[in-house]
Amino acid sequence: MSLTLALSKGRIFDDTLPLLKAAGIEVLDDPEKSRALILRTNLPDVRVVLVRASDVPTYVQHGGADVGVAGLDVLLEHEAGPYGGQIGGGALLRPLDLRIARCRLSVATRTDFDYQAAVRQGARIRVATKYTQLARQHFADKGVHVDLIKLYGSMELAPLTGLADAIVDLVSSGATLKANDLVEVEHILPISSHLVLNPVAAKLKRERIRPLLQALQSAVSSSPA
Ligand code: PRP
């Protein structure tokens, strides 16, 4: 029974490899050395497909992959978006927090922008982000008026160029904010990467998926917190 696992290149890929290894799966191809998007593993019936981080939920939801690893930011944004529901497939299952690629979703501004005062005064704040759904929810919950500007990357530039007053983005070490003279003014959500399952595969391939899930679970529990 074959299994397709969707991963994205970079930190998620690098941090998932040791967990897969502990679960008996070794990825044989190095994505840094080849442009191939389907990677072989030591198990003939298990392959890894490389997709953009924000496409992992779509691949898994629609059966392009049985299993995937994606950040909670991407998963929640997908669930809240127009394609996150039941269209063409059941909702994603999210059985395990892998506790990797940890960071936080935050609001950041220029150092000379008084965010708390703007919020207190009920000002309309222009917010640039790729997480428009999560940002909309967050500011609506706080009763803050915002104009959202959708970007696809380099969010830090927006306050520096006058495109926006604030950004909603991931912060890990804080180095990117610091390098661009921005400050974190609000934490929205702690983020880590989760294992996701296609609901049909979870049923039809349960004999194959259950041991993988158990092995990953014990690898996660025994890795440093
Ligand atoms: C994320 C995020 C920030 C940076 C934060 O970008 O968008 O730019 O990491 O990390 P730091 O606090 O350790 O500096 P990423 O590198 O994931 O690329 P992306 O912009 O394509 O998401």
What pLDDT is stored for residue 1 in this prediction? 84
What pLDDT is stored for residue 90 in this prediction? 66
- Burial code (b: 16+ CB inside 10 Å, e: under 16) for 56-72 equals bbbbbbeebbbbbbbbb
Co-location of 79 and 147 in the same domain:
no
Co-location of 126 and 183 in the same domain:
yes
* Ligand 1 centre distance from Cα of residue 170 (Å): 6
Q: Which residues in the chain show pLDDT less than 70?
A: 84-90
Distances (CA, A) of 205 to 1, 26, 182, 212, 213: 7, 20, 47, 11, 12
What pLDDT is stored for residue 86 in this prediction? 55
Co-location of 77 and 162 in the same domain:
no
User: CATH no. for residue 152?
Assistant: 3.40.190.10
CA 173 to ligand 1: nearest atom:
13
| Cβ atoms within 10 Å of 193's Cβ, excluding its own | 30
Strands 166-171 and 125-129, bridge-based pairing:
parallel
- What whole-number distance in Å separates Cα of residue 129 and Cα of residue 131? 5
- Say how many domains are in the chain: 2
Co-location of 107 and 212 in the same domain:
no
pLDDT tens track for 8-43: 999 999 999 999 999 999 999 999 999 999 999 999
- What whole-number distance in Å separates Cα of residue 165 and Cα of residue 125? 6
* Ligand 1 centre distance from Cα of residue 70 (Å): 15
Q: Which domain holds residue 210?
A: 3-102+192-222
Co-location of 198 and 96 in the same domain:
yes
Q: Decide whether any atom of ligand 1 lies within 6 Å of the 178 Cβ.
A: no
Query: Which of 72, 176, 182, 184 for mutating ligand 1's site (highest number of atoms within 8 Å of CB)?
Result: 176
Q: Give the ranges where the chain is alpha helix by DSSP (H).
A: 11-22, 56-61, 72-80, 115-120, 132-142, 157-161, 175-179, 199-204, 206-222
What pLDDT is stored for residue 142 in this prediction? 95
What pLDDT is stored for residue 167 in this prediction? 98
Co-location of 89 and 148 in the same domain:
no
- What whole-number distance in Å separates Cα of residue 119 and Cα of residue 122? 5
- What whole-number distance in Å separates Cα of residue 140 and Cα of residue 146? 9
